[in-house]
Structure 1
């Protein structure tokens, strides 16, 4: 694809670079599954079974001299290892009764941004029973419900389990980065466009589109634009006024307000898809299912862009390979939910924890909505990604994580574009990334 137009002077043409793409979203696609009243216990059983087999294989190298017991098989004062699923008892955790009170209350109830309390404590459970965890080795502020771990300790006279050490699954094995990448190729990440909201700046987004498609800048900038091999849009692309969706039949004027943001977004997607491959993921505010995994936005929403075979509507979470570099990302719900029920210095630390726990969304289905699977847990991380990204964050953050086996993982927090005007550019060859800031400030 040509990115620079011929001018009156000497023409300069740039051929857009290509990258081999493989979509790996199949594990997140809901095909024939239907809700038939099944309970969420099945997904916990599946998670525990998978993770326990994994942890059992790691225990001999960790504590070879200690036996592994079930919760029911604990004996007072005898050191052992137990493997189970953590449950975090939280004093401030919201319940359906709180929602009922909020509806009935005249005065709006204050909703905390974080539900942690000093009295929170941890419990470990398996199929045989559950036991309260004692001691100061585990900080409740770090953990959440749904994590499977191995614990070294002993039962106390009070019937608690005094924890002396913990074994997490750790980063999963990773396929080595391909050695043959000799030229720069770039992937652009955008998130939180919120087309249709008061925060959205059409000029700012159009400048971004023109820049990455090679219609702005000098020859050098157009040359760099021609090296962009894919654009990933990570959720919350449109914002539809909630006041319209009140369950009543929509008046004609409201129908146009409902569809206008999507039509406007489609126009921009046409420009992107005409120039390069585009992956679009759903987010919390997009017209998609609420629970994870969110299914691809229907192609009928984008009649213009869906004509192009370069336009791909994806799931959330989204997993793919680009020139044998493995990408894994979400629109941010998994990390945002962790920040409500645990504490960390930044979002990058939450991301690192999910990799160490080998689970993309450990709080699902406890506090994060997910489909009630009966025979699998699709959020288990079986292969370590080279690039792990989350969308719709307050600010841009990144870190190159080195695993215990020297596996590199580029962690990226993608900021909301409507608020920051920032997109993220990743170099496939080096895994280095930088912020691309677009300013459309018309103030004098």
Structure 2
């Protein structure tokens, strides 16, 4: 009997990429809430953005004087830089929560809090002024955006004639040395443990990534996957148990079951290639942004591999000198509640042009009360900007005035759509990867 020969030429070698984490500014080392005020974030944001906008005024409208709100004079044409505040008629307050308790009729919570009577106000350290004119649309802007406004002060308001946003930040040139295809897989909203989660669907994705699914061509493509990013909401823990009472051992196991199941699946990926997991709004992590990495002790199997990384949300990293920036979706979902756009990609585009990842924090989006900085300012333009837990897959290539190119990606909820997103780092092209488990009779 002849010994079986192994064809070594057909053995596939997984490609690798140079990785650099840029999450340091999102990491909170000594968390404390004693004596800290949220106003500090706005002061720091205004200081940083005003310095930037002043540098842009030379090429915008250098002939007009720059004033503070307190220096505005009636009839005088000038430029003023400040933070926008949107007065909203339908914005929820703590009094609404109180009225729900006292009222017999439940109050309907609207999906969007926009109203025709909403109006914008500009604020700096010296004061605030109402904004007039039709140039600045209240439906586009939200509280927390810093802009430069050209206009004329009137009786009690400032009539806006033109607006200057910061625009896309400068971008580090993308390295074009490597002409080989390398892929990054994005997935979010796994919701393992929920009633709509399909374990087989995620197992198919795992098998595809690890090269255990498909023919030689498919396995060849799988070998070119250099990283997997899981963008939030990976597990769903039954909320009924989280009432502050001691749990029976049976209930404790039900709580930990989804995390154990997730760890088993992540371990299969981590054994073959780098994988990163970001926390989401429903994961066992802190609620306010920036969310800190999920505790590695939750993943005893995956964390045994040095390819497993637990990351912050927002998350920023470089892969072969390509800069990635992304969130688990809270920043864009919150923008949708307080402003309008034709799609989620337009909301993403606005955050880049405002140079701020989460302009509605801390007004309507929970965040940590930083005293010495605003970590959500976008100083360097990413090449890839992704947002997780969206209703559908969508993507667009955004081009800036200085040649910046940004791939915008909306990652859909995997548990509802069965779709992951694959990005080619060579040319920033991306496509959806769909997994179905229905049998056709």
Q: Same fold (TM over 0.5)?
A: yes
Report the TM-score, using the length of structure 1 for normalisation.
0.97
* Shift in Å, 1:251: 1.5
The equivalent of 1:360 in structure 2 is 357
The equivalent of 1:303 in structure 2 is 300
Alignment gaps of 5+ in structure 1: 1-5
The equivalent of 2:253 in structure 1 is 256
**Which residue of the other structure, out of 141, 144, 167, is the alignment partner of 1:143?**
141
**Which residue of the other structure, out of 426, 433, 436, is the alignment partner of 1:436?**
433
> In 2, distance between residues paired with 1:393 and 1:33?
30
* Shift in Å, 1:9: 8.0
**Which residue of the other structure, out of 78, 81, 91, is the alignment partner of 1:80?**
78
Superposed CA RMSD in Å reads: 1.3
Q: Deviations over 1:289-328 (max 9, x none)?
A: 0000000000000010000000000000000000000000
More deviation, 230-239/24-33: 24-33
Secondary structure, aligned partner of 1:240:
coil
> In 1, distance between residues paired with 2:5 and 2:377?
53
The equivalent of 2:324 in structure 1 is 327
Residues 365-404 of structure 1 correspond to what in structure 2 (within 5 A)? Answer: 365-404=362-401
Secondary structure, aligned partner of 2:349:
helix
> In 1, distance between residues paired with 2:222 and 2:114?
45
Q: Deviations over 1:393-440 (max 9, x none)?
A: 000000000000111000000000000000000000000000000011
Residues 27-426 of structure 1 correspond to what in structure 2 (within 5 A)? Answer: 27-156=25-154, 158-426=155-423
> In 2, distance between residues paired with 1:50 and 1:238?
38
> In 2, distance between residues paired with 1:12 and 1:78?
76
> In 1, distance between residues paired with 2:97 and 2:173?
48
Q: 1:66 to 1:279 in 2, by over 3 A?
A: same
Alignment gaps of 5+ in structure 2: none
Secondary structure, aligned partner of 1:123:
strand
Q: Deviations over 1:245-275 (max 9, x none)?
A: 1111112221111100000000000001001
Report the TM-score, using the length of structure 2 for normalisation.
0.98
> In 1, distance between residues paired with 2:134 and 2:5?
70
Q: Deviations over 1:89-130 (max 9, x none)?
A: 000000011122223433322100000000000000000000
Q: 1:9 to 1:326 in 2, by over 3 A?
A: closer
Structure 1 runs of 4+ aligned residues shifted over 3 Å read 6-11, 103-107
> In 1, distance between residues paired with 2:232 and 2:100?
29
> In 2, distance between residues paired with 1:37 and 1:104?
33
More deviation, 202-211/250-259: 250-259
> In 2, distance between residues paired with 1:86 and 1:205?
43
What number of residue pairs does the alignment pair up?
A: 438
